[in-house]
Amino acid sequence: MFSKVAARLHADKNLLYQLRDRLQSQGVRLTDLISGNVQDQGILFPQAALEEALVGAARGSVIYRPDSFGQLAAREAISAYYRDQGHHIAPGSLVLTPGTSTAYWYAFKLLANDTEEILCPSPSYPLFDYIAALSGVRLIPYRLDEDRGWSIDLEYLESMVSTKTRAIVIISPHNPTGRVSSSQEISSLGEVAARHDLALVSDEVFSEFLMQDGALPRAAESGAPLVLTLNGFSKMFALPGIKLGWMAVSGRPERVAQALRALELISDTFLPVNEIVQAAVPEIFLKGRAFLAGYAEEIRRRWCIAADYLRRCPRCSFVPPEGGFYVTLRLEGLDEEGAAAGLLRDEHLLAHPGYFYDMKPHHLVFSFVQHPDVLNDALPRLAERLATLVQ
């Protein structure tokens, strides 16, 4: 009755989440250290400003006049956002999507046929496996080197290019390692893409959350034949429920034109982005500037709190994240699955073992965007528990 894809997508819960469910069924209150939803941690877009933007948008969207690429006023606002950061992305080179997950699906269907390959960083976020399965493409991992600050192993990456390779995914800031690719690294990646005539799919959803001052090096400047840059409101403005993302298309003019022709048809087939949300985009950018500055500073502050505790943890080490919401701990002499289960069972703290992200043993991953009160309570207990575990 069901397709092969449906069979592949079905999976039993892993042991850690079976333990979580069992504890919750017993009424145990758990602290979720893995969620990156900042709304649960007290960071909210100003409600009055959001309501004003949405009410005005609703009044302006009474008559349905869809645009395959997304409403022009919304795309002009996104173009202005890039222009303010020194990057030229014309409104006509933007496609609105209902979030970056859908944008990935667009990109994979645009670039690769069934069974063809897209290179993706490892460690990686598990969501990509499901999107690839739904798209019919194969993800081929390329290494990020922890001993070199999670930098891209470019020599290994190029060795993984085959006659079936169609694109390379770059995530910067990277989830979950927090790596921000340098300008030199991105330039070298562009050279690899140009040599093999590959597209780059650049995920920049954490672009506003850098731990140091300075501009984010962008794949759009890499010189690759075609670059699809993905971003959206979920992380940028702490608005995951708005479901607004976009794809910016850049590169060689003939490749850009061909990509946009195909994307226009893909998007027009579904017209998936809520019209009221699209109409609110200019006002959200306008009203969100001050909020975003304070929000980014608060994420830095919370990382400083977390880092202070982690530096005193005798059983782990870490590469300080350069951006994003997550940190990856390397465990010293501990089994990651046992450590994660012990933290959940005994301290009621949920963190992920590294194998969830295809990491080499042994690591733990958690988010540091939790409220400071949560960090001050949970992280000393995490460090103490790790210190008492045996291999």
Q: Where are the domains of the chain?
A: 4-45+290-388, 47-287
Q: Which helix (H) or strand (E) holds 327?
A: strand 326-331
| Structure tokens that stand for 242 in this block | 């708005």
Q: Looking at residues 43-71, what average pLDDT do you find? A: 97
The reported pLDDT for the residue numbered 134 is: 93
* Digit-coded pLDDT (tens) for 324-366: 999 999 999 999 999 999 999 999 999 999 999 999 999 999 9
* Digit-coded pLDDT (tens) for 167-201: 999 999 999 999 999 999 999 999 999 999 999 99
- Taking 70 as the threshold, does the pLDDT of residue 383 lie above it? yes
Q: Which residues does 20 contact at the CB level (< 8 Å), separation at least 6?
A: 30, 344, 350
* Digit-coded pLDDT (tens) for 3-43: 888 877 776 789 999 999 999 999 999 999 999 999 999 99
**CATH pick for 4-45+290-388 out of 3.90.1310.10, 3.90.1150.10, 3.40.190.10, 1.10.10.60:** 3.90.1150.10
The reported pLDDT for the residue numbered 3 is: 86
DSSP 36-95: --GGGGT----HHHHHHHHHHHHHTTSS----TT--HHHHHHHHHHHHHTT----GGGEE
The overall average pLDDT reported for the chain is 96
Beta-sheet pairing, 363-367 with 352-353: antiparallel
- Taking 70 as the threshold, does the pLDDT of residue 391 lie above it? no
The reported pLDDT for the residue numbered 204 is: 98
Q: Say what the alpha-carbon torsion angle 217, 220, 223, 224 is, to the nearest 10 degrees.
A: 120
Local structure of residue 146 (DSSP, 8 states): G
- Taking 90 as the threshold, does the pLDDT of residue 108 lie above it? yes
Paired with 250 in beta bridges are: 227
Local structure of residue 212 (DSSP, 8 states): S
- Taking 90 as the threshold, does the pLDDT of residue 235 lie above it? yes
Separation between Cα atoms, residue 300 and residue 307, nearest integer Å: 10
- Taking 70 as the threshold, does the pLDDT of residue 390 lie above it? no
In Å, how far are 229, 359, 362 from 353, measured between CA atoms?
A: 29, 9, 8
Separation between Cα atoms, residue 135 and residue 36, nearest integer Å: 26
Specify the fold of 47-287. Aspartate Aminotransferase; domain 2 (3.40.640)
Half-sphere exposure (CA, 13 Å, Cβ side) for 391? 4
* Digit-coded pLDDT (tens) for 244-289: 999 999 999 999 999 999 999 999 999 999 999 999 999 999 999 9
The reported pLDDT for the residue numbered 195 is: 98
